[in-house]
Amino acid sequence: MKLCQVPQSFRQCSLCKLRFVLEAELSGATGLQGTRRQLLEVLKRRGEARAEELAEALDVTVSAARQHLAALQGAGLVSHREVKGAPGRPKHVYFLTPAAEELFPKAYDEFAAELVEFVGDEAPELLPRLFELRRASRLERTRTRLEGKGFDARVREIAAILDEDGYLTAVEELDDGSFVLQEHNCAILGVAQLTSAPCAAEIDFLREALPDASIERVAHMLGGQHRCAYRIVPVA
């Protein structure tokens, strides 16, 4: 038996944000009372600013502002562009990177769950159709990436696709030639807790993506397990 982690090149997209946030935590960027957190908030409000402007807003020296900016740039949370104007060295104007957005409040899960709840109340017959459309769209994109690959490679490619979507996947190859596809995170857990439609669509997606396999769910987060998992057995 061997455990095949999804290749790092595939995991990069879904894990890069987590890495940026963890590095920011370690550097003190996300401390609620910290100067770096205040600096991020100033950039969030202004869009961009020079070190001198940030120093004035934070009531610190320009040198201290630059030190904080250097740390935040090292954590991937801040970037800069050069502005040429008066004679001398070009000025640096700083702005937040997309990774920094993860440090500010978001309500995507709550919004999606509310929409599903509203649809369920007003037109419950539409819910299965919505997730069917989502499944069909995912399947179309997935088939393009599976084309020309052998069975093992297709299983791992599907795991990579799910990992990119935020499911933190791994593939376990068993001694009998079957596989267990593991999802250690549910990207739409809040929605799945309201309706069984996304879970049904998920296993249908896997079965259609791998028509030459028998696929069964063997672990389920909604059933109390810490992961969702699917046993994938190739069939002749």
127-145 average pLDDT score: 91
Q: How far apart are CA 14 and CA 33, in angstroms?
A: 29
Q: Looking at 54, 75, 103, which one is the last position of a domain?
A: 103
Does 111 lie in the same domain as 50? Answer: no
What is the structure's pLDDT at 146?
97
First-to-last alpha carbon distance for the chain, in angstroms, is: 22
For residue 145, is pLDDT > 70? yes
160-180 average pLDDT score: 93
Does 74 lie in the same domain as 136? Answer: no
Does 141 lie in the same domain as 175? Answer: yes
Q: Looking at 103, 126, 143, which one is the last position of a domain?
A: 103
Does 156 lie in the same domain as 53? Answer: no
Pairing mode of beta strands 91-96, 179-183: unpaired
What is the pLDDT confidence band of residue 8, given thresholds at 50, 70 and 90? very low
Percentage of the chain beyond pLDDT 90 is 54
Instruction: Kindly state whether residue 7 falls inside one of the protein's structural domains.
Output: no
pTM (predicted TM-score): 0.61
Q: Looking at 86, 103, 120, which one is the last position of a domain?
A: 103
Average pLDDT in the chain: 84
CATH number of the domain that 21 lies in?
1.10.10.10
Can you give the length of the chain in residues? 236
Instruction: Kindly state whether residue 9 falls inside one of the protein's structural domains.
Output: no
Residue bearing the bigger pLDDT, 199 or 20: 199
153-173 average pLDDT score: 94
* Parent domain of 220: 107-234
CB neighbours of residue 79 within 10 Å:
18
Does 144 lie in the same domain as 91? Answer: no
Phi, psi of 104 (to 5 degrees): -110, 150
Query: What is the separation of C-alpha 33 from the centre of its chain, rounded to a whole number of angstroms?
Result: 27
What residues pair up with 78 in beta bridges, in sequence order? 96
Q: Could you tell me which of 211, 203, 200 has the C-alpha nearest to residue 154?
A: 211
Does 136 lie in the same domain as 225? Answer: yes
* Residue-wise pLDDT tens digits, 149-160: 999 999 999 999
